[in-house]
Structure 1
Protein backbone atom coordinates (compact mmCIF):
# COMPACT_ATOMS: atom_id res chain seq x y z
CA UNK A 1 0.00 0.00 0.00
CA UNK A 2 1.35 3.41 -0.98
CA UNK A 3 2.14 5.58 2.05
CA UNK A 4 0.08 8.71 2.52
CA UNK A 5 1.80 11.59 0.68
CA UNK A 6 2.92 14.61 2.70
CA UNK A 7 0.51 17.53 3.01
CA UNK A 8 2.13 19.68 0.30
CA UNK A 9 1.88 16.84 -2.22
CA UNK A 10 -1.75 16.12 -1.30
CA UNK A 11 -2.54 19.81 -1.75
CA UNK A 12 -0.86 19.90 -5.15
CA UNK A 13 -2.70 16.82 -6.42
CA UNK A 14 -6.00 18.14 -5.11
CA UNK A 15 -5.37 21.54 -6.68
CA UNK A 16 -4.69 20.07 -10.12
CA UNK A 17 -7.95 18.18 -9.98
CA UNK A 18 -10.06 20.96 -8.46
CA UNK A 19 -8.74 23.62 -10.86
CA UNK A 20 -9.43 21.23 -13.74
CA UNK A 21 -13.02 20.72 -12.59
CA UNK A 22 -13.99 24.29 -11.67
CA UNK A 23 -11.40 26.53 -13.31
CA UNK A 24 -8.50 28.49 -11.89
CA UNK A 25 -10.72 30.50 -9.51
CA UNK A 26 -11.93 27.40 -7.66
CA UNK A 27 -12.16 28.07 -3.91
CA UNK A 28 -9.02 27.18 -1.99
CA UNK A 29 -11.23 25.81 0.79
CA UNK A 30 -12.45 23.19 -1.71
CA UNK A 31 -8.84 22.30 -2.53
CA UNK A 32 -8.15 22.03 1.20
CA UNK A 33 -11.17 19.80 1.73
CA UNK A 34 -10.11 17.53 -1.15
CA UNK A 35 -6.60 17.29 0.30
CA UNK A 36 -7.82 16.70 3.85
CA UNK A 37 -6.06 19.77 5.25
CA UNK A 38 -6.98 23.23 6.50
CA UNK A 39 -7.10 26.20 4.14
CA UNK A 40 -4.40 27.79 6.27
CA UNK A 41 -2.05 24.92 5.48
CA UNK A 42 -2.29 25.77 1.77
CA UNK A 43 -1.05 29.27 2.55
CA UNK A 44 1.63 27.83 4.80
CA UNK A 45 3.01 25.60 2.02
CA UNK A 46 2.34 27.72 -1.07
CA UNK A 47 1.78 31.29 0.11
CA UNK A 48 -1.01 32.27 -2.28
CA UNK A 49 -3.31 31.07 -5.04
CA UNK A 50 -0.86 32.30 -7.70
CA UNK A 51 2.02 30.40 -6.11
CA UNK A 52 -0.14 27.28 -5.98
CA UNK A 53 -1.00 27.75 -9.66
CA UNK A 54 2.70 28.12 -10.46
CA UNK A 55 3.33 24.83 -8.63
CA UNK A 56 0.57 23.22 -10.71
CA UNK A 57 2.25 24.57 -13.86
CA UNK A 58 5.55 23.02 -12.80
CA UNK A 59 3.90 19.67 -12.10
CA UNK A 60 2.16 19.67 -15.49
CA UNK A 61 5.46 20.46 -17.19
CA UNK A 62 7.27 17.80 -15.19
CA UNK A 63 4.77 15.07 -16.07
CA UNK A 64 4.76 16.06 -19.75
CA UNK A 65 8.56 16.25 -19.88
CA UNK A 66 9.06 12.85 -18.22
CA UNK A 67 6.53 11.07 -20.41
CA UNK A 68 7.65 12.65 -23.69
CA UNK A 69 11.26 11.84 -22.84
CA UNK A 70 10.29 8.26 -22.04
CA UNK A 71 8.59 7.80 -25.41
CA UNK A 72 11.27 9.58 -27.45
CA UNK A 73 14.07 7.56 -25.89
CA UNK A 74 12.21 4.32 -25.10
CA UNK A 75 10.41 3.83 -28.40
CA UNK A 76 7.25 1.85 -29.12
CA UNK A 77 7.11 -0.12 -25.86
CA UNK A 78 7.10 3.08 -23.81
CA UNK A 79 4.48 4.64 -26.08
CA UNK A 80 2.12 1.67 -25.82
CA UNK A 81 2.54 1.51 -22.05
CA UNK A 82 1.58 5.16 -21.72
CA UNK A 83 -1.42 4.78 -24.02
CA UNK A 84 -2.64 1.92 -21.87
CA UNK A 85 -2.63 4.20 -18.83
CA UNK A 86 -3.84 7.40 -20.52
CA UNK A 87 -6.67 7.90 -18.02
CA UNK A 88 -4.26 8.71 -15.19
CA UNK A 89 -3.22 11.90 -17.01
CA UNK A 90 -6.78 13.30 -16.96
CA UNK A 91 -6.31 15.79 -14.06
CA UNK A 92 -3.15 17.24 -15.62
CA UNK A 93 -4.74 17.51 -19.06
CA UNK A 94 -7.80 19.14 -17.52
CA UNK A 95 -5.62 21.62 -15.66
CA UNK A 96 -3.66 22.54 -18.79
CA UNK A 97 -6.92 23.05 -20.69
CA UNK A 98 -8.14 25.40 -17.97
CA UNK A 99 -4.86 27.34 -17.99
CA UNK A 100 -5.07 27.77 -21.76
CA UNK A 101 -8.75 28.63 -21.56
CA UNK A 102 -7.97 31.43 -19.07
CA UNK A 103 -5.41 32.97 -21.45
CA UNK A 104 -3.20 35.89 -20.48
CA UNK A 105 0.52 36.14 -19.64
CA UNK A 106 0.57 33.06 -17.40
CA UNK A 107 -0.90 30.88 -20.13
CA UNK A 108 1.66 32.29 -22.57
CA UNK A 109 4.41 31.52 -20.09
CA UNK A 110 3.19 27.95 -19.73
CA UNK A 111 3.22 27.50 -23.52
CA UNK A 112 6.75 28.93 -23.62
CA UNK A 113 7.83 26.48 -20.94
CA UNK A 114 6.32 23.59 -22.89
CA UNK A 115 8.30 24.73 -25.95
CA UNK A 116 11.54 24.90 -23.95
CA UNK A 117 10.98 21.39 -22.62
CA UNK A 118 10.11 20.09 -26.10
CA UNK A 119 13.40 21.46 -27.38
CA UNK A 120 15.23 19.37 -24.79
CA UNK A 121 13.40 16.08 -25.22
CA UNK A 122 13.44 16.33 -29.02
CA UNK A 123 17.22 16.71 -28.82
CA UNK A 124 17.32 13.62 -26.62
CA UNK A 125 15.21 11.81 -29.21
CA UNK A 126 17.75 12.83 -31.87
CA UNK A 127 20.57 11.46 -29.71
CA UNK A 128 18.63 8.20 -29.32
CA UNK A 129 18.24 7.94 -33.11
CA UNK A 130 14.43 8.22 -33.05
CA UNK A 131 14.08 11.84 -34.20
CA UNK A 132 15.45 13.50 -37.33
CA UNK A 133 17.62 16.59 -37.00
CA UNK A 134 16.14 20.00 -37.80
CA UNK A 135 17.46 23.12 -39.51
CA UNK A 136 15.75 25.11 -36.74
CA UNK A 137 15.14 22.99 -33.61
CA UNK A 138 13.52 25.81 -31.63
CA UNK A 139 11.02 26.64 -34.38
CA UNK A 140 10.17 22.96 -34.77
CA UNK A 141 9.63 22.59 -31.03
CA UNK A 142 7.32 25.61 -31.00
CA UNK A 143 5.23 24.43 -33.95
CA UNK A 144 4.84 20.92 -32.55
CA UNK A 145 3.88 22.28 -29.12
CA UNK A 146 1.37 24.76 -30.48
CA UNK A 147 -0.15 22.09 -32.74
CA UNK A 148 -0.54 19.69 -29.82
CA UNK A 149 -2.01 22.27 -27.44
CA UNK A 150 -4.19 23.73 -30.17
CA UNK A 151 -5.66 20.32 -30.91
CA UNK A 152 -6.54 19.95 -27.23
CA UNK A 153 -8.23 23.35 -27.08
CA UNK A 154 -10.21 22.73 -30.26
CA UNK A 155 -11.55 19.49 -28.82
CA UNK A 156 -11.96 20.88 -25.28
CA UNK A 157 -14.78 18.88 -23.68
CA UNK A 158 -15.89 21.81 -21.54
CA UNK A 159 -16.44 25.41 -22.47
CA UNK A 160 -18.66 25.45 -19.39
CA UNK A 161 -17.86 26.67 -15.90
CA UNK A 162 -17.47 23.13 -14.61
CA UNK A 163 -15.52 20.29 -16.19
CA UNK A 164 -16.72 16.74 -15.77
CA UNK A 165 -13.52 15.16 -14.49
CA UNK A 166 -15.24 11.77 -14.21
CA UNK A 167 -15.89 11.85 -17.96
CA UNK A 168 -12.54 13.39 -18.87
CA UNK A 169 -10.60 10.08 -18.96
CA UNK A 170 -13.13 8.70 -21.45
CA UNK A 171 -12.83 11.84 -23.57
CA UNK A 172 -9.05 11.74 -23.32
CA UNK A 173 -9.00 8.12 -24.48
CA UNK A 174 -11.27 8.90 -27.44
CA UNK A 175 -9.26 12.01 -28.36
CA UNK A 176 -5.97 10.10 -28.18
CA UNK A 177 -7.29 7.16 -30.19
CA UNK A 178 -8.44 9.50 -32.96
CA UNK A 179 -5.13 11.35 -33.07
CA UNK A 180 -2.27 8.91 -32.60
CA UNK A 181 -2.43 6.98 -35.89
CA UNK A 182 -2.72 9.98 -38.25
CA UNK A 183 -0.07 11.94 -36.33
CA UNK A 184 2.37 9.03 -36.38
CA UNK A 185 1.67 8.56 -40.10
CA UNK A 186 2.30 12.24 -40.73
CA UNK A 187 5.57 12.17 -38.79
CA UNK A 188 6.70 8.85 -40.27
CA UNK A 189 5.58 9.28 -43.90
CA UNK A 190 5.93 12.96 -44.90
CA UNK A 191 2.81 14.57 -46.34
CA UNK A 192 4.76 16.04 -49.27
CA UNK A 193 6.47 13.65 -51.67
CA UNK A 194 9.49 15.90 -52.24
CA UNK A 195 11.16 19.02 -50.86
CA UNK A 196 10.41 21.33 -53.79
CA UNK A 197 8.05 23.63 -51.86
CA UNK A 198 10.44 23.91 -48.93
CA UNK A 199 13.41 24.50 -51.22
CA UNK A 200 11.55 27.23 -53.08
CA UNK A 201 10.50 28.93 -49.87
CA UNK A 202 14.00 28.84 -48.40
CA UNK A 203 15.49 30.14 -51.64
CA UNK A 204 13.12 33.11 -51.54
CA UNK A 205 13.64 33.83 -47.82
CA UNK A 206 15.52 37.06 -47.01
CA UNK A 207 19.21 36.64 -46.06
CA UNK A 208 19.56 35.81 -42.39
CA UNK A 209 15.94 34.68 -42.08
CA UNK A 210 15.48 32.24 -39.19
CA UNK A 211 13.98 29.68 -41.57
CA UNK A 212 17.08 29.51 -43.75
CA UNK A 213 19.27 26.40 -43.41
CA UNK A 214 21.89 26.68 -40.70
CA UNK A 215 25.45 25.42 -41.12
CA UNK A 216 25.72 21.73 -40.48
CA UNK A 217 22.00 21.03 -40.68
CA UNK A 218 20.19 19.28 -43.52
CA UNK A 219 18.49 21.33 -46.23
Structure 2
Protein backbone atom coordinates (compact mmCIF):
# COMPACT_ATOMS: atom_id res chain seq x y z
CA UNK A 1 0.00 0.00 0.00
CA UNK A 2 2.78 2.42 0.84
CA UNK A 3 4.51 1.94 -2.53
CA UNK A 4 1.16 2.36 -4.32
CA UNK A 5 0.67 5.62 -2.40
CA UNK A 6 4.16 6.86 -3.34
CA UNK A 7 3.46 6.23 -7.02
CA UNK A 8 -0.01 7.81 -6.79
CA UNK A 9 1.37 10.92 -5.10
CA UNK A 10 4.18 11.12 -7.65
CA UNK A 11 1.90 10.76 -10.68
CA UNK A 12 -1.16 12.68 -9.50
CA UNK A 13 -0.11 14.91 -6.61
CA UNK A 14 -1.11 14.97 -2.96
CA UNK A 15 -4.76 15.70 -3.68
CA UNK A 16 -5.22 12.15 -4.96
CA UNK A 17 -7.92 10.37 -2.99
CA UNK A 18 -7.45 7.45 -0.64
CA UNK A 19 -9.90 5.57 -2.86
CA UNK A 20 -7.58 6.03 -5.85
CA UNK A 21 -4.57 4.94 -3.79
CA UNK A 22 -6.47 1.89 -2.58
CA UNK A 23 -7.49 0.97 -6.14
CA UNK A 24 -3.85 1.17 -7.22
CA UNK A 25 -2.86 -1.10 -4.35
CA UNK A 26 -5.74 -3.52 -5.01
CA UNK A 27 -7.29 -3.05 -1.57
CA UNK A 28 -10.20 -1.10 -0.07
CA UNK A 29 -9.98 2.51 1.11
CA UNK A 30 -11.06 1.27 4.54
CA UNK A 31 -8.03 -0.98 4.75
CA UNK A 32 -5.74 1.95 3.90
CA UNK A 33 -7.35 4.03 6.67
CA UNK A 34 -7.12 1.13 9.10
CA UNK A 35 -3.44 0.59 8.36
CA UNK A 36 -2.23 4.23 8.32
CA UNK A 37 -4.90 6.06 10.30
CA UNK A 38 -5.09 9.13 8.08
CA UNK A 39 -3.92 10.47 4.76
CA UNK A 40 -1.49 12.77 6.58
CA UNK A 41 0.09 9.82 8.36
CA UNK A 42 0.30 7.94 5.08
CA UNK A 43 2.09 10.87 3.46
CA UNK A 44 4.52 11.13 6.38
CA UNK A 45 5.47 7.48 5.93
CA UNK A 46 5.80 7.98 2.17
CA UNK A 47 8.05 11.01 2.75
CA UNK A 48 10.32 8.99 5.01
CA UNK A 49 10.47 6.13 2.51
CA UNK A 50 11.23 8.41 -0.45
CA UNK A 51 14.01 10.15 1.49
CA UNK A 52 15.52 6.80 2.43
CA UNK A 53 15.37 5.52 -1.16
CA UNK A 54 16.81 8.80 -2.48
CA UNK A 55 19.66 8.58 0.03
CA UNK A 56 20.31 4.95 -0.87
CA UNK A 57 20.32 5.74 -4.59
CA UNK A 58 22.87 8.51 -4.04
CA UNK A 59 25.04 6.32 -1.82
CA UNK A 60 24.91 3.46 -4.32
CA UNK A 61 26.08 5.82 -7.04
CA UNK A 62 29.14 6.69 -4.91
CA UNK A 63 30.05 3.02 -4.63
CA UNK A 64 29.51 2.26 -8.34
CA UNK A 65 31.78 3.06 -11.26
CA UNK A 66 30.71 5.83 -13.67
CA UNK A 67 29.94 3.14 -16.26
CA UNK A 68 27.65 1.31 -13.83
CA UNK A 69 25.86 4.54 -12.92
CA UNK A 70 25.17 5.46 -16.52
CA UNK A 71 24.09 1.96 -17.44
CA UNK A 72 21.34 2.11 -14.82
CA UNK A 73 20.30 5.69 -14.07
CA UNK A 74 18.94 7.01 -17.40
CA UNK A 75 16.14 4.43 -17.59
CA UNK A 76 15.52 4.02 -13.86
CA UNK A 77 11.81 3.68 -13.13
CA UNK A 78 12.48 4.22 -9.43
CA UNK A 79 14.42 7.38 -10.29
CA UNK A 80 11.38 8.69 -12.16
CA UNK A 81 9.12 7.98 -9.19
CA UNK A 82 11.53 9.78 -6.85
CA UNK A 83 11.96 12.93 -8.94
CA UNK A 84 8.21 13.29 -9.50
CA UNK A 85 7.50 12.73 -5.80
CA UNK A 86 10.13 15.30 -4.84
CA UNK A 87 8.67 17.70 -7.42
CA UNK A 88 5.19 17.32 -5.94
CA UNK A 89 6.53 17.91 -2.42
CA UNK A 90 8.34 21.10 -3.39
CA UNK A 91 5.39 22.47 -5.37
CA UNK A 92 3.00 21.60 -2.55
CA UNK A 93 4.42 24.43 -0.45
CA UNK A 94 2.73 23.30 2.76
CA UNK A 95 4.51 22.54 6.01
CA UNK A 96 5.08 18.94 4.91
CA UNK A 97 6.75 20.16 1.72
CA UNK A 98 8.97 22.57 3.64
CA UNK A 99 10.01 19.87 6.09
CA UNK A 100 10.71 17.52 3.21
CA UNK A 101 12.99 20.11 1.58
CA UNK A 102 14.89 20.64 4.83
CA UNK A 103 15.39 16.88 5.12
CA UNK A 104 16.72 16.79 1.56
CA UNK A 105 19.25 19.48 2.50
CA UNK A 106 20.32 17.53 5.58
CA UNK A 107 20.78 14.39 3.48
CA UNK A 108 22.77 16.38 0.92
CA UNK A 109 25.10 17.72 3.61
CA UNK A 110 25.78 14.21 4.90
CA UNK A 111 26.46 12.99 1.38
CA UNK A 112 28.79 15.91 0.61
CA UNK A 113 30.72 15.34 3.83
CA UNK A 114 31.23 11.68 2.93
CA UNK A 115 32.25 12.59 -0.62
CA UNK A 116 34.83 15.09 0.64
CA UNK A 117 36.25 12.53 3.05
CA UNK A 118 36.58 10.02 0.22
CA UNK A 119 38.30 12.55 -2.02
CA UNK A 120 35.53 12.58 -4.64
CA UNK A 121 34.78 16.30 -4.42
CA UNK A 122 36.66 19.35 -3.20
CA UNK A 123 35.82 20.74 0.26
CA UNK A 124 33.85 23.94 0.68
CA UNK A 125 34.53 26.94 2.91
CA UNK A 126 30.94 26.58 4.12
CA UNK A 127 29.62 23.06 3.69
CA UNK A 128 26.07 23.71 5.00
CA UNK A 129 25.69 26.69 2.67
CA UNK A 130 26.91 24.62 -0.29
CA UNK A 131 24.50 21.79 0.52
CA UNK A 132 21.58 24.22 0.74
CA UNK A 133 22.56 25.98 -2.49
CA UNK A 134 22.90 22.73 -4.44
CA UNK A 135 19.56 21.39 -3.25
CA UNK A 136 17.66 24.62 -3.86
CA UNK A 137 19.26 25.01 -7.30
CA UNK A 138 18.36 21.44 -8.18
CA UNK A 139 14.80 21.78 -6.92
CA UNK A 140 14.32 25.07 -8.76
CA UNK A 141 15.56 23.49 -11.99
CA UNK A 142 13.27 20.51 -11.39
CA UNK A 143 10.19 22.71 -10.92
CA UNK A 144 10.96 24.82 -14.01
CA UNK A 145 11.77 21.79 -16.16
CA UNK A 146 8.41 20.16 -15.49
CA UNK A 147 6.54 23.47 -15.73
CA UNK A 148 7.95 23.99 -19.22
CA UNK A 149 7.95 20.29 -20.19
CA UNK A 150 5.08 18.53 -18.41
CA UNK A 151 5.30 14.77 -18.90
CA UNK A 152 2.85 13.39 -21.44
CA UNK A 153 2.24 10.40 -19.18
CA UNK A 154 3.19 10.93 -15.51
CA UNK A 155 2.56 7.23 -14.95
CA UNK A 156 5.43 6.30 -17.29
CA UNK A 157 8.11 6.85 -14.68
CA UNK A 158 10.97 5.40 -16.74
CA UNK A 159 10.29 7.79 -19.64
CA UNK A 160 10.00 10.72 -17.22
CA UNK A 161 13.46 9.83 -15.93
CA UNK A 162 14.93 9.41 -19.42
CA UNK A 163 13.65 12.78 -20.63
CA UNK A 164 14.79 14.64 -17.53
CA UNK A 165 18.20 12.97 -17.60
CA UNK A 166 18.64 13.90 -21.28
CA UNK A 167 18.13 17.56 -20.42
CA UNK A 168 20.28 17.91 -17.30
CA UNK A 169 23.06 15.30 -17.41
CA UNK A 170 25.59 16.96 -19.71
CA UNK A 171 25.42 20.56 -18.38
CA UNK A 172 25.45 19.30 -14.79
CA UNK A 173 28.46 17.05 -15.31
CA UNK A 174 30.33 19.74 -17.27
CA UNK A 175 29.74 22.33 -14.56
CA UNK A 176 30.61 20.01 -11.70
CA UNK A 177 33.66 18.49 -13.41
CA UNK A 178 35.18 21.45 -15.28
CA UNK A 179 33.81 24.50 -13.49
CA UNK A 180 32.53 27.66 -15.13
CA UNK A 181 34.98 30.54 -14.77
CA UNK A 182 38.40 30.28 -16.38
CA UNK A 183 40.10 31.91 -13.37
CA UNK A 184 39.24 32.53 -9.69
CA UNK A 185 39.23 36.35 -9.90
CA UNK A 186 35.63 36.80 -8.74
CA UNK A 187 36.05 34.39 -5.83
CA UNK A 188 39.32 36.00 -4.80
CA UNK A 189 37.73 39.46 -4.84
CA UNK A 190 34.78 38.23 -2.79
CA UNK A 191 37.06 36.64 -0.20
CA UNK A 192 39.28 39.73 -0.07
CA UNK A 193 36.22 41.88 0.68
CA UNK A 194 35.75 39.94 3.92
CA UNK A 195 32.18 38.87 3.21
CA UNK A 196 32.77 35.12 3.11
CA UNK A 197 31.68 34.48 6.70
CA UNK A 198 27.96 34.65 6.01
CA UNK A 199 25.42 33.85 8.75
CA UNK A 200 23.78 30.43 8.71
CA UNK A 201 21.05 30.10 6.11
CA UNK A 202 17.48 30.18 7.33
CA UNK A 203 15.05 27.36 6.81
CA UNK A 204 13.71 26.79 3.31
CA UNK A 205 10.36 28.32 4.18
CA UNK A 206 11.54 31.53 5.88
CA UNK A 207 12.16 34.97 4.50
CA UNK A 208 15.88 34.58 5.18
CA UNK A 209 16.24 31.98 2.45
CA UNK A 210 14.17 33.76 -0.21
TM-score, scaled relative to structure 1: 0.81
Report if the CA contact (8 A) 1:69-1:124 is conserved.
Answer: no
Number of aligned pairs? 200
C-alpha separation in 2, matches of 1:138 and 1:78 = 29
C-alpha separation in 1, matches of 2:16 and 2:133 = 32
- Does 2:83 correspond to 1:93? yes
Report the RMSD for the aligned CA atoms in angstroms.
2.4
Structure with greater Cα Rg: 1
Deviations along 1:144-182, whole A, 9 cap, x unmatched?
11111111110116898x983234432321221221111
Partner of 1:24: 14
Partner of 1:65: 55
The gaps in structure 1 that reach 5 residues or longer are 1-10, 212-219
C-alpha separation in 1, matches of 2:128 and 2:196 = 19
1:53–1:202 CA distance, 2 compared to 1 (3 A): same
Runs of 4+ in 1 over 4 A off after TM superposition: 157-160
Report if the CA contact (8 A) 2:74-2:161 is conserved.
Answer: no
Report if the CA contact (8 A) 2:2-2:42 is conserved.
Answer: yes
TM-score, scaled relative to structure 2: 0.84
Among 94, 97, 103, the residue aligned to 1:107:
97
Deviations along 1:6-56, whole A, 9 cap, x unmatched?
xxxxx1111111122322111101111211222222223222111111111
C-alpha separation in 2, matches of 1:158 and 1:55 = 30
C-alpha separation in 2, matches of 1:171 and 1:93 = 9
Partner of 1:79: 69
